[in-house]
Homo-oligomer: A and B are copies of this chain.
Amino acid sequence: MSLVDESAQSDRVRDALTAAHLYYMQDLTMDAIAHELHTSRSSVSRLLSHARATGLVDIQIRSPLDAPSRLELLIQERFNITAHVVPVPDHATDVDRLERVALSVARILGQFFDSNMVMGIAWGSTMNAISRHVTPKQTHNSQIIQLNGAGNHRTTGLSYASEILGRFGYAFGAHVHQFPVPAFFDSPATKQALWRERSVLRLLEMQARMDVALFGLGSPFSEVPSHVYAGGYLEEGDYASLSRASVVGDVATVFYRADGSTDGILLNARGTGPGFEVLRQTPRRLCVVSGQAKLPSLRGALKAELITDLFVDESTARALVASI
């Protein structure tokens, strides 16, 4: 980028800031702003879009604390976590549902992440959807780390996962640390060997002291399988083994049962995600769920105490509390 571009850039930012001020603080119309800024109304409209898209304008919704929705209260009481229920009409399709929850999360994420923090991020269709909408927020000295490997026997998986991570990193101005290993090793021994490599150890150490974790849930046996299950990461035998072990879901390729337990699930010895004892040390663990298909998986994750903040669509939330 040339010097000229740079100063044009900062001009643009300054104009956007001024426009935002005039629009959101002083309630001028875009017309009036256009006049003050000596440009056209359309340009002001675009400036304001830009200001919103780049996080110069930050719009938050704050419940008066005494009025979180009934559902949020119920979930809070029953599971001792903070719930953020996303209103989605009951007749919405699962795709809509995911998209709308993801959009909401993307907008609110900045409230959980700040300078000098480390955020761990999984990958999958939910994370992908979120990543495409994250509202930027400038931070310093913050890190985004990949929670689990993404390669399979066909590709190194780098592009998909790294695109996702990259978008988060870009939005927050954070360093991105990829985890260049397969999602599942073919043999536990290989994993153990790699887990002694210094480059991997460095990453594991960062995981151990991260401030925020962001993840969706996998649900291997629902009709709408998650990315891991559709993408060729697992084979027939693996499925059978998961089924035998009564697995109901996974978080970052670590599988668990309905009661939240993980002991004796063979596949976990080959998976690359952080063990739950590591995850549970993380102060804030944001879980994003949409669609009732993930309900069993969600129940298990709650049992395992993996979640501190749950983002969930309204009807799934209702189902969660309905079914004692």
Could you list which residues of chain A lie within 8 angstroms of chain B, going by C-beta atoms? 10, 13-14, 17-18, 20-22, 24-27, 36, 51, 55-65, 67, 69, 86-87, 89, 100, 103-104, 107-108, 138
Contacts and interface: CB of A to CB of B under 8 A. Distances in A.
Contacts of A67: 10, 13-14, 17
Contact of A60 (B60, B69, B107): B60
Given A57-B59, A87-B18, A26 B103 contact: yes
A61 B21 contact: yes
Given A13-B64, A65-B138, A67-B13, A104 B21 contact: yes
Contacts of A22: 87
A222 B104 CA distance: 52
Nearest to A22: B87
Contacts of A138: 64-65
Given A25-B107, A89-B36, A59 B59 contact: yes
Contacts of A60: 57-60
Given A10-B67, A26-B100, 16 more contacts: A21-B61, A21-B86, A21-B87, A21-B104, A22-B87, A24-B61, A25-B86, A25-B108, A26-B86, A36-B89, A51-B61, A55-B62, A57-B61, A58-B60, A59-B59, A59-B60
Query: How many chain copies?
Result: 2
B104 A26 contact: yes
A58 B56 CA distance: 14
A65 B140 CA distance: 11
A118 B223 CA distance: 57
Nearest to A60: B58
Contacts of A14: 67, 69
Nearest to A51: B61
Contacts of A55: 62
A2 to B, nearest CB: 19
A261 B47 CA distance: 46
Contacts of A18: 87
